[in-house]
Amino acid sequence: MRKATISRNTAETKINLTLDLDGTGKSEIATGVGFLDHMLTLFAKHGRFDLTVSCQGDTWVDDHHTAEDVGIALGQAFRAALGDKKGITRYGNMILPMDEALILTAVDLSGRGYLGYDLQIPTQKVGTFDTELVEEFWLGFIRNAECALHIRKITGTNSHHIIEGAFKSVGRSLRAAVAIEAAYADEIPSTKGVL
């Protein structure tokens, strides 16, 4: 059972999150930030992860702490649910079209945190959401999931489409990376013997 439950309580946010890597894409998301809820719903659907997230954050300040801390909690959940990573594919990638936007993502569940981020979002806001928080979310995620993640815009002009394409593409890349390869189910996919 590759599942994890994370509770993260700080002076800025209170988060409860559950993740099932072998789900069907069901989600219940309530972060207090509507656009982030939408992105996480898409992420879960395309990754086929069952995901519940509730967050009470200091959104009267802005959405920064909520976006970053939900990314942290999600990364912690991935790390915990993967356990020793025995049998996983380890790598995943996707080039995903979202109308005029074309987004490339690639992930390595390496045990080392790195974010290669090149989305070039043309506007500072989508609705009330600060688009710079997309990078903060993924930084929180990779540092805690301990993975290398590349997110790159190949083309695109609509900020909503670019960000949506990124969340869908990362979901699908992670879905491929966490998949168990039956022929290698008892092996760690590394010459080091550990990830």
The CATH number covering residue 163 comes to: 3.30.230.40
Query: Whole-angstrom Cα distance, residue 12 to residue 9?
Result: 8
In this structure, is residue 114 part of a structural domain?
yes
Is the predicted pLDDT of residue 15 greater than 90, yes or no?
yes
> Which alpha helices (H) appear in 83-181, and where do they start and end?
133-145, 159-178
pLDDT for 193 equals 85
> Which alpha helices (H) appear in 24-122, and where do they start and end?
34-47, 64-82
In this structure, is residue 190 part of a structural domain?
no
Query: Whole-angstrom Cα distance, residue 13 to residue 65?
Result: 7
Q: Look at the chain and report how many structural domains it folds into.
A: 1
The mean pLDDT of the chain is 97
At residue 134, the 3 state secondary structure works out as: helix
pTM: 0.97
Query: Whole-angstrom Cα distance, residue 45 to residue 76?
Result: 19
Query: Whole-angstrom Cα distance, residue 151 to residue 103?
Result: 7
In this structure, is residue 54 part of a structural domain?
yes
Q: Backbone phi, then psi, for 172, in 5-degree steps? A: -70, -35
H/E stretch holding 45? helix 34-47
- Residue 94 near residue 172, CB atoms below 8 Å: yes
What percent of the chain has pLDDT above 70? 100
In this structure, is residue 194 part of a structural domain?
no
pLDDT for 116 equals 98
In this structure, is residue 48 part of a structural domain?
yes
Task: For residue 142, give its domain range.
Answer: 3-184
In this structure, is residue 193 part of a structural domain?
no
